[in-house]
Amino acid sequence: MSVITTERHDDVLVIISNNPPVNALGQAVRQGLADGIEEALGDDSVKAVVIRCDGRTFFAGADITEFGKPPQGPGLGDVLDTIEASDKPVVAAIHGTALGGGCEVALACHYRVAVPSAKLGLPEVKLGLIPGAAGTQRLPRVVGAEAALPMVVVGNPIAASKAQAIGLVDAIVGEESLAEEAVAFARAQTDKPVPRSSEGTANRDGVENPAIFDEFRAKHGRKLRGFDAPAAGIEAVKAAGEMSYEDGVKKERELFMGLMGGTQSAAMRHYFFAERAANKIEGIARDIELLPIRKVGVIGAGTMGGGISMNFLSAGIPVTILEMEQEALDRGTGVMRANYERTAKRGRMTAEQVEQAMGLLTPTLDYDDLADCDLVIEAVFENMDVKKEVFAKLDSVVKQGALLASNTSYLNVDEIATATKRPEAVLGLHFFSPANVMKLLEVVRGEKTADQVLATAMKLAKKIGKIAVVAGVCDGFIGNRMLSPRQGQANALIMEGANYWEVDEVLLDFGFPMGPFQMSDLAGLDIGWHRDPTRIESIRDALCAMDRRGQKTGAGFYDYDEARQRTPSDDVKKLIADFAEKQGVEQRDISKEEIRERLLYPMVNEGALILEEGMAQRASDIDVVWINGYGWPLYTGGPMFWADTIGLDTVVAGLEKHKERLGENFRLSQLLKDKAEKGERFN
């Protein structure tokens, strides 16, 4: 059956798209739309047109799988011009998400009606692009430059009600009666001059007050640092006010094509598919029966236990949280409440929602209260004996069929499972701190973890808004395991004479939000410190002994002023030099290039080892982990995609060049070596 069909409702022609799963605007859809409009224009008895979609959503955008391939006509821009040029009114009937090219279809129509749950947006920026079918030119002419800017430059979709408030949607209709109401709406517009978005004048606001562009840039500068597409988006929206529509479209095209050919968009499109691939588990049928998770238990109400619980409470799933002592329990639940209240204060939650979430929480000191949980997550101290004791207790009280998970960062999940008589029910659920905020979840598949248990955990992760990646049992799983060589090199580099602030700068320049020494200062240098100022075995010991324990004491590696601005410290530089001398490490000048290579290439190598050992399912999963858990810049596509981009032979050559300095445990991955030799990529 054709992806586009038409249907007559007396004098209204309805053009219907049915291109699952998301009605992406592939070649057949574009051709069908063009044919549908031609049919309407060629038939005098048609007075108005409705465009709507079957299935779960209105057009969710251009077909991303067509990007990078030779274009096949008709182009979306031409089809949209045909729609807009029609003198018979064309109405977009929107449900689900009208995104990207889909929103541009809606903009080319003369009117837009939507159901209350619909969302509209231009998320191209998240693919390293700007809209490429005149969206940057039509949207500001309809809603004004100020309202268009966040849509084009930040790319978050807006709700139908907001779209109506800014003039993007003309009418909101019943959730269940879109098809009929859109036809009635279209019929009511016949015999009126059609309003064309390209002729709108709302964008005068940007001409009268051009300061809005700089203000916008200043407001979002930090978040958009390093990305190319947002600046292009601002330029295109500005052009909409300064140029004729035709010239503006040309400008948009130029900017769009520049971005499409660049490395950032390729990386971000890779990430789009990587995130979706991560959800798929090799060897497990997609339709495997999942276990219902109606009630969750959490053990430990510390930093992680509290945050983990909040994920479920916010999703409406009741949580029973267990501690050893009342005081710790009260402290933990108090922190959770305070976190929710802070969110409410910022306007991102109502007071009622806070009470609703907290109302689903049952604090307890008694393991018997966990008996009927469908999933229990342990987040107690990082100690194997303690964890085993907890799992043995869980095994004796929690009902059969429940999932038993550990939030351990490094410990062996298979060994933890031996404390139970049901290792098939045990897995790792490694959340990242703060657990209620960070999107990443490593789902650790033990040797005996049942397929159903794993699949249930992946599905649940999606429900609580996490991006889940399957990892095997190894030291540090995917993320922390790759962090370890980077941290090792950062420490080695400063001993060898690199300035610690330059080590941080290299990572900042690369696009990380923070370098390792800034991070240590933020977390506190006294984490894990033995507290004996006379025992100095590391640079950290020396800093703590001087009471330079990080930001909280006003000094750590850096000096901090009242506003927490950091400056490098000559004293610390000297302290490191003295320490190196004592250890017999000779200091030398080290270039930023060497710093960069020694920080990043060993990570790629570790990623390759993880792959060859089967600890990650695919290279793109590693990219998803590092982008979501550790601030690896999205616009490089993640460590493995980045390595592909610069060439695996470059990485191997760099590793060989620095081999002597990469530590005695360094081992070059055979997979990486082979791929480099064959000129292959990871992705």
Residues belonging to the active site:
104, 124
Residues 350-379 that bind ligand NAI (CB under 6 A): 379
Q: How far out from the chain centre does Cα 661 lie?
A: 34
Residues found near ligand 3HC in the complex (CB under 6 A): 21-22, 24, 57, 60-65, 76, 97, 99-101, 104, 123-124, 127, 131-133, 135, 276
Element (H, E) at 93: strand 90-94
Measure the N-to-C terminal CA separation of the chain; round to a whole number of Å.
34
Q: Is 257 in the site for ligand NAI (CB under 6 A)?
A: no
138 SS3 class = helix
Give min distance, CB of 665 to ligand 3HC, in A.
Answer: 38
Nearer to ligand NAI, 273 or 381 (CB): 381
Residues 458/281, Cβ–Cβ less than 8 Å: yes
List the one residue from 301, 354, 402, 457 that touches ligand NAI (CB under 6 A): 301
406 pairs with which residues across the strands?
Answer: 378, 428
- Of all residues in the shown chain, the one whose CB is closest to ligand NAI is 302
Spatial distance between the Cα atoms of 526 and 546, rounded to a whole number of angstroms: 11
- When asked if residue 386 is in the footprint of ligand NAI (CB under 6 A), the reply is yes
Check binding of 617 to ligand NAI (CB under 6 A): no
Helix (H, G, I), strand (E, B) or coil at 468: strand
Contact 320, 297 (CB under 8 A): yes
Q: What is the smallest separation between the CB atom of 442 and ligand NAI, expressed in angstroms?
A: 9
Which one of ligand 3HC, ligand NAI, none interacts with residue 390, CB within 5 to 8 A by kind?
ligand NAI
Q: Which of 180, 316, 342, 381 binds ligand NAI (CB under 6 A)?
A: 381
**What's 290's DSSP letter?**
P
| C-alpha gyration radius of the chain | 28
- Which residue from 401, 345, 341, 331 is spatially nearest to 372, judged by alpha carbons? 401
Of 235-243, 321-329, 539-547, 613-621, which part binds ligand NAI (CB under 6 A)?
A: 321-329
- Closest distance of CB 385 from ligand NAI, Å: 10
Residue with token string 């990486």: 672
Please choose which of ligand 3HC, ligand NAI, none residue 607 contacts, taking the beta carbon within 5 to 8 angstroms, the exact cut-off set by kind: none
Q: Check binding of 328 to ligand NAI (CB under 6 A).
A: yes
How far apart are CB 661 and ligand 3HC at their closest, in Å?
42
Helices (H), 42-176: 76-85, 101-108, 135-143, 145-149, 160-166
Q: Is 407 in the site for ligand NAI (CB under 6 A)?
A: yes
CB of residue 461 to ligand 3HC, shortest distance in Å:
13
Residue 302 and residue 344 in contact, taking contact as beta carbons nearer than 8 Å: no
Task: Give whichever of 131 and 515 is closer to ligand 3HC, judged by the CB atom.
Answer: 131
Integer Cα distance of 67 and 257 in angstroms? 11
The count of other CB atoms within 10 Å of the CB of residue 568 is 17
Cβ proximity to ligand NAI, 187 vs 388, nearer residue: 388
**Residue 407 site contact among ligand NAI, ligand 3HC, none (CB < 5 to 8 Å, cut-off depends on kind):** ligand NAI
- Tell me if 300 contacts ligand NAI by CB under 6 A: yes
Q: Contact at 8 Å (CB) between 607 and 570?
A: no
**Between residues 132 and 300, which has the closer beta carbon with respect to ligand 3HC?**
132
Nearer to ligand NAI, 292 or 528 (CB): 528
3-class DSSP assignment, residue 442:
strand
Contacts of 51 (CB under 8 A, 6+ apart): 14, 15, 17, 33, 36, 83, 90, 91, 92, 93, 105, 109
Q: Choose the one of ligand 3HC, ligand NAI, none that binds residue 101, judging by a C-beta under 5 to 8 angstroms depending on kind.
A: ligand 3HC
Place of tokens 């530590």: 663
Applying CB under 6 A, among 14, 236, 380, 519 the residue interacting with ligand NAI is 380
628 touches ligand NAI (CB under 6 A):
no
- Based on CB atoms, which residue is closest to ligand NAI, 130 or 403? 403
Which range touches ligand NAI (CB under 6 A), out of 152-160, 316-324, 455-463, 529-537? 316-324
Place of tokens 């009929």: 180
User: Could you give phi then psi for residue 381, rounded to 5 degrees?
Assistant: -55, 150
Compute the half-sphere exposure of residue 2: CA atoms within 13 Å on the CB side of its CA: 13
Of these, 181, 323, 442, 606, which contacts ligand NAI (CB under 6 A)?
A: 323
Q: Which residues sit at the interface with ligand NAI, rule CB under 6 A?
A: 299-305, 322-324, 328, 379-382, 386, 390, 407-409, 431-433
